[in-house]
Chain A
Amino acid sequence: MTVTETRAMLASDAGHGASGRQTPPRKRRYTEDQVPLGRVLLRMFAGLIVLAVFIVPYLIMFFGSVKTKSQILSVDPTYFPTEWHWENYLDMWSTPETPLPQNMVSTIVISVFATLLVLAVALPAAYYTARFKFPFRFVFLFLVIVTQMLQPAVLTSGLFRQFTALGMIDTWAAMIFINAAFNLSFAVWIMHSFFAGIPKEVDEAAQIDGAGRLTVLFKINLPLVWPGIVTAIVFTFVACWNEFAASLVILSTAGNQPMSVALTKFVGQYSTSWQYVFGVSIVAIIPVVVLFMLIEKRLVGGLTAGSVK
């Protein structure tokens, strides 16, 4: 990706400048390896602090997840577990506060189907608006941006009344639609900019060779915009996975609720089973963190496509 390459070049540029400030700089100092060692160590130290700050909450979570209840509620707590109770990861599913296995299934079903719905709806819209002109095309794209400004939280009371009237309150279907609708704009936006990035000559050449419009879309364009599609899928999936505000109001039955809502039931109890809360959190966090890390290079490009030059 050009962004990454450029970034790497910029980084090495910064290196040149840092080492070659004195005039006249000797020629061999213009390689990245020649950044003064002290400066590199300083950067590593800064990087280490950043690393620590960002990972510590999740280390606390992990260490807590293998402590026993008496250890984690001990009046003189230890930073690290004195013994490792991996069986927590089996026992946690049968905690009395909330039916966690059902909450897990709920989270998975809602996220997967909402993501599939977003893909089915956003892909054609993104393709067509990027490739063809039609009346009100700009109005449509404007609507998409407006949707991005709105979040379920501010519309919850309306969503609650509407889905009650439709008889869909407390159903997975309602949350699938809500998650899909509020993540649609972002998916359209990202895929739109990827489609727009393919030169039209590519399509034209294929058409001259006798390919129909659908053939062009599926055989020629999709392979080229695949990174954009993956980015859209990951962002949508992670957003649905973590959704909280609408689920809190729409899903009232404990078994229907996703993990994010179910876990809050542990807060403010007389003696919370924090080790189970953390075990569940670790299990719920790892897959989405891995997904985000897989698209790390495109987090930047995908996010800013169309808005930051």
Chain B
Amino acid sequence: MSSTTDASPNPTGAAAGRPRSGGSPAGGKGAKPARRGKPGGRDLAAALPWITPALILIFGVVLFPAVVMFYNSTRDISLSGLDKGSVGFDNYVEVFQFPYFWPIFFRTIVWVVVVVAFTVVISLGLAQILNKAFPGRQLVRLVVIIPWAASVVMTTMVVYYGLEPYFGIINKFLVDIGLVDTPEGYGWTKNPTTAFMWSIIVAIFVSLPFTTYTILAGLATVPGDTLEAAKMDGAGSVRTYFTIVLPQLRGALSVAVLINIINVFNSLPILRVMTGSIPGYDADTIMTMIFKYIQNQHKVDVASALSVVAFVIVIVIVAVYVKVVKPMKEV
């Protein structure tokens, strides 16, 4: 069973930039003076043709818009898009003085925490099932991919339709099994609280495939002989799972959680479809609020200020998470 150490998908990855034992110049053609010396200006010049297109895209379409957004958040921009000068932090004042801001803020936290927590716990169970050998496993694995590949908008819309009173299929099912006792069903999507609750369910559903597959990758790295040894020592399957398997999944889990936090925080389509037609601000998160500012109120300046707030929240969450959990420590 020693060959299970090959499980690392990329065994030589860590040594990518290091010289091999011979110390021979890998680049050849004299682009590199000597392998031992520090790379110098000529190396940078040689690299530029290869990486400049990527740099242009990153700076031009990711980092520069971020700067524009920070700048706009301090400007007064008219409904037609005209910049009417600086207003200091007035846009931020408007963001924070909006009476629904703090409810929206805390709803965003609930949204992220609940969705990510349930996603991870359910995915751990799913991965256990999909990691066991049984006839038809391959089919189940393939079907689990569907919500990952399918458009989140389309997945949410079928749930939205299903929850419609009178003709929605999910409502009919809930009536048929006796969970809803009004024959026309319940207006789940007409009420901010229940619409938000169903949005959470959809968000968990579409986050499961990625998380499950990441955990499956982690499970593939659990050494088989260790499991064998634990069985031999008489450890039950529950104990084996918590003392051997789960610690081994730390790397996979920490990456999955980080990516899920970012995705769920930035998620727009689910709430947009499920709660978008409900008036008021009782089912909004920061992300849907940004789009309400841009599209309904045409306040790009206030939207920018709220985006900066969102941006800072994401950065803080990621920084704290990376500091505490160190998911990237092997990169």
List A residues at the B interface (Cβ < 8 Å): 1-3, 5-7, 9-18, 20-21, 32, 35, 40, 43-44, 46-48, 50-51, 54-55, 57-58, 60-61, 64, 72-77, 79, 117, 120-122, 124-125, 127-137, 140, 143-145, 147, 149-151, 153-162, 164, 177-178, 180-182, 184-185, 188, 192-201, 203-204, 207, 212-213, 238, 241-242, 244-245, 248-249, 259-261, 263-264, 266-268, 272, 274, 277-278, 281, 284-285, 288-289, 291-293, 296, 299-309
Contact = CB atoms under 8 A, between A and B. Distances in A.
Contacts of A76: 172
A285 B150 contact: yes
Contacts of B327: 307
20 contacts: A2-B6, A10-B131, A13-B227, A50-B126, A75-B167, A121-B53, A145-B328, A153-B290, A155-B311, A157-B294, A158-B70, A203-B28, A213-B29, A245-B268, A267-B160, A277-B157, A285-B150, A307-B327, A307-B331, A309-B8
B16 A196 contact: yes
Contacts of A46: 129
Interface size class of B (residues with CB under 8 A): 35 or more
Contacts of A58: 146, 150, 158
Contacts of B133: 11-12, 14-15, 32, 35, 43
Contacts of B150: 58, 242, 281, 285, 288-289
Contacts of A147: 58, 62
B323 interface: no
B161 A43 contact: no
A77 B10 contact: no
Contacts of B13: 193, 196-197, 305-306
A305 B9 contact: yes
B325 interface: no
Interface in B272-290: 272-273, 276-277, 287, 290
Nearest to B202: A57
B142 A263 contact: no
A154 B307 contact: yes
Given A124-B50, A149-B314, A309-B251, A134 B213 contact: no
Contacts of A57: 147, 155, 158-159, 162, 205
Contact of B131 (A14, A125, A134, A188): A14
Contacts of A241: 151
Contact of B47 (A128, A207, A304, A307): A128
A44 B136 contact: yes
A153 B143 contact: no
A157 B72 contact: yes
Most chain-B CB neighbours within 10 Å: which of A1, A21, A308? A308
Interface string B148-172: 1111111101111110001111101
Contacts of B237: 18
B266 interface: yes
B8 A9 contact: no
Contact of B273 (A120, A160, A264, A300): A264
Nearest to A49: B129
Contacts of A181: 57-58, 60-62
Contacts of B162: 57, 60
B158 A64 contact: yes
A133 B137 CA distance: 44
Most chain-A CB neighbours within 10 Å: which of B6, B130, B151, B266? B151
A192 to B, nearest CB: 8
B174 interface: no
A141 B190 CA distance: 47
Nearest to A140: B51
Given A128-B50, A267-B276, A304-B217, A158 B68 contact: yes
Shortest beta-carbon contacts, A-B, top 5: A158-B69, A268-B277, A181-B61, A158-B65, A196-B16
Contacts of A18: 237
Interface string B39-70: 11101101101110111011011101111111
B222 interface: yes
Contact of B51 (A128, A207, A302): A128
